Amino acid sequence: MVISLSGYDGMGKSTSVDLLMEKICENHGLKGMSALKANNGTEVYENIEQVDDIYKVLSRYDVITTRFYFRSNKMQKLQEMVMFAETDVFDNTELIKEVTDAARQEAQIWYDHVIWKLLRKNKIIIYDRYYYDEIAYRSLYNLKKEYIERKYIGYPESNIRIHLFGDMDLIRERNRTRIDMKTALFNCEDKMMELYQNIEYISKKYNMIRMDIKGKTRDEVAEDLYTIVNGYLEA
């Protein structure tokens, strides 16, 4: 089973996937592991052998949390060029095409070397973002959503798709102290609003379960997520 959490930066996806994993394990007598923890707290890898080693660790557990893909050093550098560039990066279509292609390749590597093999062993995978979020974010940079969607034709859908929703006031409040606020995106109000609309787009297009997190503690969010997911686990 594949569960994916999507949403704006600062909506608690990373925290929520780990808390959801804990609740599933506690209530079903399973063992869980974070892919980040299995790779010493980083999503960057040096070579394919390291990716295979991550799989070996994760294969010993029942429930796994992960980012959509892990990054090679090259991909990490490309991503940093986008995140911490000047605001005119939004017009650098060639760079974004290169990053988008690299991300698609990384996603396939991660799926082929880790996720597919885990699913064959009937593991539960909980994603912090999925390819839907790639569509929402990459299309901020003068790429059509359809262009990015075509990149993922044939890529497996997640079984349970959840949108952690917050309004723009909550988004600004949550991101005020995050490193994300130093990026080009959060220094451009128009792009922040465009991303908000893009996430609404993927939420509707991919029939996500919409969960409003406003006024909820992280434990309350995790409990609500578990209620949703447990209905599928017990079906």
The CATH number covering residue 223 comes to 3.40.50.300
**220 lies in a domain?**
yes
**172 lies in a domain?**
yes
pLDDT in tens, 18-51: 999 999 999 999 999 999 999 999 999 999 999 9
**109 lies in a domain?**
yes
Helix-, strand-, coil-residue percentages of the chain, each rounded to 5: 60, 15, 30
**77 lies in a domain?**
yes
Q: How far apart are CA 230 and CA 235, in angstroms?
A: 8
**234 lies in a domain?**
no
**235 lies in a domain?**
no
**167 lies in a domain?**
yes
pTM: 0.94
User: Domain range holding 139?
Assistant: 2-229
For residues 176, 181, 182 and 183, what is the CA-based torsion angle, rounded to 10 degrees? 180
**15 lies in a domain?**
yes
- Tokens 């690299």 belong to 102
> If DSSP codes are grouped into helix, strand and coil, which group holds residue 141?
coil
Tally of CB atoms within 10 A around 182:
11
Number of domains in the chain: 1
The structure tokens listed for 150 are: 């075509």
pLDDT in tens, 165-209: 999 888 888 877 665 555 667 778 888 899 999 999 999 999 999
